[in-house]
Amino acid sequence: MRRDYGSFITPKRQRGPNLSSWALRGRDVFFWCALLAATCLLSCWRGTQTDELNRKPGIASRLRRRVASLPLRHQVLAQGKADIRRGDRQLGAPSSSRAGSWVWQRRKRAFDSPSERACKVFCEGELLRAVQTAGIFQDSKEFVDMSMRMDPEVVLKKFDALRPEERKDPGILAAFVSEHFSTPGSELVAIQPQDFTDSPSVLQSLTPGSSYYAWAQTLNQAFASLTRKVSDDVFLNPQRYSILRRTHPVVIPGGRFRESYYWDSYWIVLGLLACDMKDTARGLVQNLLDDVANFGFVPNGGRIYYLNRSQPPLLSEMVLALLEADAGLMEDADFVASATTLLDAEYTFWMEEGNHAVALEDKEGHAHVLNRYWTSTSYPRPESFKEDLASKSEANGTSKMYGGLFANIAAGAESGWDFSSRWIPPGPNGTFSMSAIETSNVLPVELNAYLYRMERNLARLHELQSSATLPKFPFRATNLRPSERKAADILTSPTAIKYSLSADKRALAMDKFMWDGESGMWRDYVIHSHAGRPSPGGGATSVSNFIPLWAGLTANPLVMDGSTKVAQAIATLKASALVQVGGLQTTVKSTREQWDRPNAWPPLQQLMIEGLVRTNMSEGIQLADELAKAWLESNYLGFANSGYMHEKYNAFIPGARGEGGEYYPQVGFGWTNGVVLHLLKIYGDSWAVLGDNAMLSEADEELSSRPAASAFDVSDVGSVEVEHTSITTREEGDRAVRERRERMMEIEGGGI
């Protein structure tokens, strides 16, 4: 019998109950519901396919845009749920779908109940906006680093009780903050590391009585002054703090940076290992591994407002540095196994399709994957609230605002280069405005170099694990960093082979999309070019263009003419304006941003010095020696003149601090100390003892006349004034150095 679906829609009037008719009607309801469900599923599937194949807005894209419009704490929760639903869809990631789900289940819990409660005060909301825009604090980070004297619900209720005009009164707001919040940093307790020693092995590389010997002793003491543990009350009342709970002590950078930071930790770990503080170094690394276990990634820093972004992925380098420091034998196989598993999870985070990982197609139609810095936030950074609102105001006022301003600003912070002309297209008059930032439109050279190393490191770790048959097994330095020409077919672990192949694919992609044969260096790749608008960076030369030397990229057999490219890159770097008397300046572009000319940053010096040595070419090794000497001399002069180590330096004036950026120049300083101690252990002080050391001798006398404590007590110091002269050419810098040397020699009554 033919079923009449129309009778269900407009049923005929019945004189009485007809059970068979109602049964038929029930079947009709079921049929229509099933048909509707099938139609919805088909629509969703087609939308997903469209999103995958044609890159047009599908369900996933619309969901991501919806998530981006949510407040910070809801973004993490919604993003986690969405990715759990869609599964582990990655580009080039060797991890299984189960591993991907594991990652997102933990990211879903990125905001546990106490952190979510605290985030209502420190990450979003009217209280945060009112305080940050009232001008109570010069630094936006001051407020969000405070701790609440009572639970956040009580604080918010009292704030809601204020009249609208009172919420705009700076005096009333200042009194409100003073009553309900404690001083920033009070949640961290200064401690003496248990493995601290007054006679670290780095001193064996130095000559007793030399200028650098006492300096190294003081920097060793500085680590004790910068070590903190989280107070007990943070564990008892986590909802009152923005600090993340830490099981192990941390070594903070110093100044306004009162918490641990992801990529800073790598150079701090190198310095700690140079000072034989292996337990403290391992604690720092374990804290970051715990972050991966809890959140599925390593946050930018140790505060809840950093949970929407990461920083350059150097955790695998830290793990290997620990293994190499153990005299060739790693006795804790459980640590290695757990660390490797968590590094797998972090790699999964960086290989999220459509987020950090970007699919590309070359001219031959071959598919490739490279990475970028990326966030989905649509809210100002809590720690830089005023600055982000100013950028938005400028964008609105000049009609320069392109999509996702706050997301691109946060992505710039994720890069560690916050901020640089690399992320900003130059304006009509050659200036660089934060209102035009488009970080996520750039595939950075150094990020992909870091991930190449991560893939190589993970391949080796998995191979070593698969070959281990005893609780104690060797992790010798010669095995940990094998020749990059080691082919994947001699590996035995399937996972190691997958990672090795991923590294090979990345090397090939970087060679195709980033190598510039005409200029002899790698360059950032811009995903989308906008008509009538220049690309970010403006094609300027940057230290990041040479980081592949550190990663060993050209040793990969898939990179054509690798040795020729190495020689080209060394020659290009040596002849470039990056090389200055005080080290490598970050870029050759002069802007208001701190990761540009004329600033020289400690981590970039270490990476390039090590990278040039790894080339195993005489020209590269010679340039590395010159850079190491210049950097150590500049850092020592700055220390002698001010009694402090700075976050960054001026590449044109040895000893002068760097300038620019969103905040006042900081002292302390964690990664600066780490790089110096690491280089001193490698290079010693032969040139300072046997060579022309007039400046060092004068600086040594300056230090000897200063009380010892002032040289490293930075617990309450945010910034200091140091004599600074703006110099923009290498010739001016050389002249300034000569004049300083002559002035110092006149004081001593000698000659150069």
Summarize pLDDT for 196-216 with one digit per residue, the tens.
999 999 999 999 988 899 999
Query: Which of the residue ranges 117-121, 466-470, 588-592, 611-615 would you say has the lowest mean pLDDT?
Result: 466-470
H helical segments located in 351-444: 385-398, 405-414
Task: Say what the pLDDT of residue 31 is.
Answer: 73
Contact (Cβ atoms closer than 8 angstroms) between residue 722 and residue 641: yes
List 418, 455, 596, 698, catalytic entry: 418
- What's the whole-number mean pLDDT along residues 118-129? 97
- Rounded Cα distance between 288 and 248, Å, is 10
C-alpha 350/C-alpha 653 separation (Å) is 38
Of the pLDDT bands very low, low, confident and very high (cuts 50, 70, 90), residue 96 is very low
**Bridge partners, residue 649, by sequence:** 600, 657
Given a cut of 60, whether residue 107 has pLDDT beyond it is no
Residue 692 CB: number of other CB atoms within 10 A? Answer: 10
Q: Are 108 and 80 in contact (CB under 8 A)?
A: yes
Q: What is the 3-state secondary structure (H, E, C) of 4-50?
A: CCHHHHCCCCCCCCCHHHHHHHHHHHHHHHHHHHHHHHHHHHHHHHH
Window from 8-22, 267-281, 410-424 with minimum mean pLDDT: 8-22
3-state secondary structure of 80: helix
Which tokens belong to 733? 């810098």
- Which residues are CB-neighbours of 556 under 8 A, at least 6 positions away? 484, 485, 503, 504, 507, 562
Q: Catalytic: 418?
A: yes
CA distance 652 to 659: 12
Residues 129, 204: Cα–Cα separation, whole Å: 53
pLDDT level of residue 529 (50, 70, 90 thresholds): low
- 286-311 pLDDT, tens digit per residue, is 999 999 999 999 999 999 999 999 99
User: Residue 238: what pLDDT?
Assistant: 96
pLDDT exceeds 90 at position 170: yes
Q: What is the pLDDT of residue 600?
A: 98
| Kind of pairing between the strands at 147-148 and 181-182 | antiparallel
The pLDDT-based confidence of 429 (bands split at 50, 70, 90) is confident
| pLDDT (tens digit per residue) in 557-581 | 999 999 999 999 999 999 999 999 9
User: What's the pLDDT at 696?
Assistant: 55
- Bigger pLDDT: 78 vs 360: 360
Range in 37-46, 430-439, 722-731 the model is least confident about: 722-731
pLDDT at residue 128 tops 90: yes
Q: What percent of the chain has pLDDT over 70?
A: 71
Report d(CA 734, CA 715) in Å as an integer. Answer: 35
Is the per-residue pLDDT at 82 higher than 60? Answer: no
Read off the pLDDT of each residue in 248-268 and give the average, rounded to a whole number. Answer: 95
The answer to whether the peptide bond before residue 598 is cis (omega within 30 degrees of 0) is yes
The pLDDT value recorded for residue 61 is 43
pLDDT digits (tens, 9 = 90+) for 695-712: 555 555 555 555 443 334
Which range among 221-225, 343-347, 471-475, 533-537 has the greatest average pLDDT?
343-347
Segment 480-506, tens digit of pLDDT: 444 444 444 478 899 999 999 999 999
Residue 76: is its pLDDT beyond 70?
no
| 535 backbone φψ class: left, alpha, beta (φ>0; ψ -120 to 50) | beta
Phi, psi (degrees; rounded to nearest 5) at 189: -110, 130
| Claim: this prediction has a pTM higher than 0.85 | no
Residue 71 — very low, low, confident or very high, per pLDDT cuts 50/70/90?
Answer: very low
Active-site choice (414, 647, 662, 685) = 647
Which region among 230-234, 496-500, 672-676, 714-718 has the lowest average model confidence (pLDDT)? 714-718
Residues with Cβ < 8 Å from 204, sequence gap 6 or more?
none
Instruction: Please give the residue that has the higher pLDDT: either 4 or 422.
Output: 422
**Is 646:596 a contact under the CB 8 Å cutoff?**
no
User: DSSP letters along 204-219, please?
Assistant: GGS-TTSHHHHHHHHH
Identity at 730, one-letter amino acid code: R
E-state strands within 508-615: 515-516, 521-522, 525-526, 579-580, 583-584, 599-600
Q: What is d(CA 420, CA 118) in angstroms, rounded to the nearest whole number? A: 32
pLDDT at 727: 37
Over 50: is that where the pLDDT of 102 sits? no
Asked about 732 being catalytic, the answer comes back as no
Please give the pLDDT value at position 590.
Answer: 92
Strand pairing class (649-650; 599-600): antiparallel
**pLDDT score of 403:** 55
- pLDDT of 540: 87
Distances (CA, A) of 311 to 412, 459, 562, 725: 10, 22, 29, 32
Beta bridge partners of 421: none
Mean pLDDT calculated for residue range 50-54: 37
Q: At what angle do helices 618-642 and 670-683 cross, to 10 degrees?
A: 130
For the ranges 363-367, 466-470, 690-694, which has the lowest average pLDDT? 690-694
Average pLDDT over residues 73-80: 38
pLDDT at position 339 over 90: yes
Q: How many CA atoms lie less than 13 Å away from 384 in the CB half-sphere?
A: 19
Please report which confidence band the pLDDT of residue 50 belongs to, taking 50, 70 and 90 as the band edges. Answer: very low
Rounded average pLDDT over 2-21: 39
Under 8 Å CB-to-CB from 655, ≥6 apart: which residues?
A: 582, 634, 635, 636, 637, 638, 640, 641, 649
Q: How confident is the model at residue 686 (pLDDT cuts 50, 70, 90)?
A: confident
Between CA 431 and CA 429 the distance in angstroms is 6
What is the token pair recorded at 466? 């698969």
Is it the case that residue 752 has pLDDT exceeding 80? Answer: no
Radius of gyration of the chain (CA): 28
Q: Which carries the bigger pLDDT value, residue 312 or residue 717?
A: 312
Q: At residue 444, does pLDDT exceed 60?
A: yes
Q: Which two tokens stand for residue 610?
A: 């090590």
What was the pLDDT predicted at 484? 43
The answer, yes or no, to whether residue 89 has pLDDT greater than 80, is no
pLDDT given at position 25: 56
Average pLDDT value over all residues in the chain: 81
pLDDT classification of 653: cutoffs 50, 70, 90:
very high
- What backbone torsions phi and psi does residue 420 show, to the nearest 5 degrees? -150, 155
Q: How far apart are CA 69 and CA 432, in angstroms?
A: 27
In the predicted model, what is the mean pLDDT of residues 128-142? 96
Of 311, 304, 166, which is closest to residue 240 (Cα–Cα)?
304
